[in-house]
């Protein structure tokens, strides 16, 4: 078997359904399997999987084991030469795995391959490629120096800014939302370290791959939609998690760093102080209009009452999406893409191409009864049921 796609789920039933749908399309021409591990979700994730995807291997944990152990359990059941660790709040293109596997097969001393990730608004997620977070590099990240001096090597290593987002090349650290590697290497490394704190498991695995003299790669030729990107709300809770993750990583791989400990405490104080003067994040205003790209005229007539908004139907038999979208430039618009007529690859391309602060995007996955998307990388997204 070429590939096993490992999806660890916890209480994201609708995102999981869309993810599995996209993966099924993407492995149709491959000798591949999907393994879903559920970490004791309290929603209907497992019953949905049994009803809608009866042929997909489902592992139901009786407790929430966390990210590292949950994925390790899944890989134990995998048969593929390659495995792909994939978040359930992602959407892959129909040719994602074909492209990534072809790239992987050409490499010598292959470690992990990651790809270009965008959030639900079409913005590139910089954690798609990163450097080893030494105390200094972590410091440049915490205080945003990588933004101030993006071309200076001294400051730009956290997000591997030596490599453009549209350029393939070697990087040190990849993100756990999408990691493709040989199963034998994963097993040799004993998978994710189950003692890891949040934010450190993918850093630790990537680093241990480098210690085996393997090369990790950022592959830009396929884009994956990742709704729940890294939070940009850097409050005290975020800083505490970041501190725990980096402390674990340093204690495991480096000498204890008083430099980092000192500046992380300054960072926690700084962001706590800033939050005192910060108002609540404002929700995006409702769109002036909703644009429904489909060929389903009947559904378009039902949507206004469901969405409580006017809906403009753009018949894909007559309209070209990119050209027609220019009409809405500058207006607050929500674009809904009907996956029955628009492939997942095309959905991702449209979201990436048409990104605009006034535009939000949703997908109506084929053979489902919901519309799904995210207006911000700081929230878990929105699900609208179509009764």
CA–CA gap between residue 219 and residue 217 (Å, rounded):
6
Q: What per-residue confidence (pLDDT) applies to 284? A: 67
Q: For 292-311, how does the pLDDT look when each residue is reduced to its tens digit (9 = 90+)?
A: 999 999 999 999 999 999 99
CA–CA gap between residue 350 and residue 95 (Å, rounded):
16
Phi, psi torsion values for 325, nearest 5 degrees: -70, -25
DSSP 128: G
How do 82-86 and 178-182 pair as beta strands?
A: antiparallel
For 90, the enclosing helix (H) or strand (E) is: strand 90-91
Q: Are 282 and 259 in contact (CB under 8 A)?
A: no
Q: For 298-357, how does the pLDDT look when each residue is reduced to its tens digit (9 = 90+)?
A: 999 999 999 999 999 988 877 666 555 556 667 889 999 999 999 999 999 999 998 888
Joined tokens for residue 214: 């393997």
Cβ count near 47 (within 10 Å): 11
Asked whether residue 281 carries a pLDDT value surpassing 60, the answer given is: no
Q: Are 219 and 115 in contact (CB under 8 A)?
A: yes
- C-alpha dihedral (307, 313, 319, 322), degrees to nearest 10: -30
Phi, psi torsion values for 98, nearest 5 degrees: -60, -45
pTM score, whole prediction = 0.91
In the three-class reduction of DSSP (H, G, I as helix; E, B as strand; rest coil), residue 182 is classed as: strand
CA–CA gap between residue 182 and residue 2 (Å, rounded):
10
Q: What per-residue confidence (pLDDT) applies to 229? A: 43
For 376, the enclosing helix (H) or strand (E) is: none
Q: Which residue has the tokens 């359904």?
A: 17
How do 289-294 and 110-118 pair as beta strands?
A: unpaired
Dihedral sign from CA coordinates of 213, 214, 216, 217: positive
For 43, the enclosing helix (H) or strand (E) is: none
Q: Provide the percentage of residues in the chain whose pLDDT is more than 90.
A: 65
What is the widest separation between alpha-carbon atoms in the chain?
64
Q: How far apart are the first and last CA of the chain?
A: 40
How do 370-373 and 382-385 pair as beta strands?
A: antiparallel
Q: Are 127 and 160 in contact (CB under 8 A)?
A: no
Q: What per-residue confidence (pLDDT) applies to 264? A: 62
Q: Are 322 and 350 in contact (CB under 8 A)?
A: yes
CA–CA gap between residue 361 and residue 375 (Å, rounded):
7
Phi, psi torsion values for 181, nearest 5 degrees: -160, 170
Of 91, 86, 89, the C-alpha closest to 22 is: 91
What is the average per-residue pLDDT within 103-126?
A: 96
pLDDT band at 231 (very low <50, low <70, confident <90, very high): very low
């Amino acid at each position: 078997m070429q590939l096993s796609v490992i999806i660890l789920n916890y209480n994201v039933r609708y995102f999981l359904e869309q993810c599995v749908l996209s993966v099924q399309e993407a492995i149709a021409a491959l000798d591949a399997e999907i393994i879903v591990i559920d970490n004791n979700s309290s929603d209907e994730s497992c019953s949905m999987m049994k009803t809608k995807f009866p042929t997909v291997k489902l592992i139901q944990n009786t407790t929430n084991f966390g990210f590292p152990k949950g994925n390790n359990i899944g890989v134990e059941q995998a048969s593929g030469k390659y495995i792909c660790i994939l978040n359930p709040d992602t959407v892959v293109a129909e040719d994602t795995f074909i492209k990534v596997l072809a790239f992987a097969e050409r490499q010598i001393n292959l470690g992990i391959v990651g790809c270009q990730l965008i959030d639900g608004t079409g913005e590139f997620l910089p954690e798609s490629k990163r450097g080893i977070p030494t105390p200094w590099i972590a410091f440049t990240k915490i205080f945003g120096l990588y933004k101030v001096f993006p071309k200076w090597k001294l400051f730009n290593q956290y997000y591997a800014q030596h490599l453009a987002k549209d350029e393939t090349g070697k990087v040190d650290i990849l993100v756990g939302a999408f990691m493709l590697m040989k199963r034998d290497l994963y097993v040799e490394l004993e998978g994710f370290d189950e003692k890891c704190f949040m934010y450190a498991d993918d850093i630790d695995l990537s680093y241990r791959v480098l210690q085996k003299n393997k090369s990790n790669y950022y592959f830009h030729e396929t884009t994956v939609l990742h709704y729940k990107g890294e939070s940009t709300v850097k409050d005290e809770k975020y800083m505490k998690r970041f501190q725990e993750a980096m402390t674990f990583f340093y204690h495991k791989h480096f000498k204890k760093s008083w430099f980092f400990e000192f500046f992380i405490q300054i960072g926690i104080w700084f962001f706590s102080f800033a939050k005192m003067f910060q108002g609540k994040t404002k929700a995006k205003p409702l769109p002036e209009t909703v644009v429904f790209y489909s060929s389903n005229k009947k559904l378009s007539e039902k949507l206004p009452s469901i969405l409580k908004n006017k809906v403009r139907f753009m018949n894909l038999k007559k309209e070209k999406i990119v050209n027609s979208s220019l009409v809405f430039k500058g207006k607050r618009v929500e674009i809904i893409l009907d996956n029955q007529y628009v492939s997942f690859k095309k959905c991702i391309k449209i979201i990436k191409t048409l990104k605009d602060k006034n535009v939000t995007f949703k997908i109506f996955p084929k053979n489902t009864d919901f519309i799904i998307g995210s207006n911000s990388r700081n929230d878990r997204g929105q699900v609208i049921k179509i009764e």
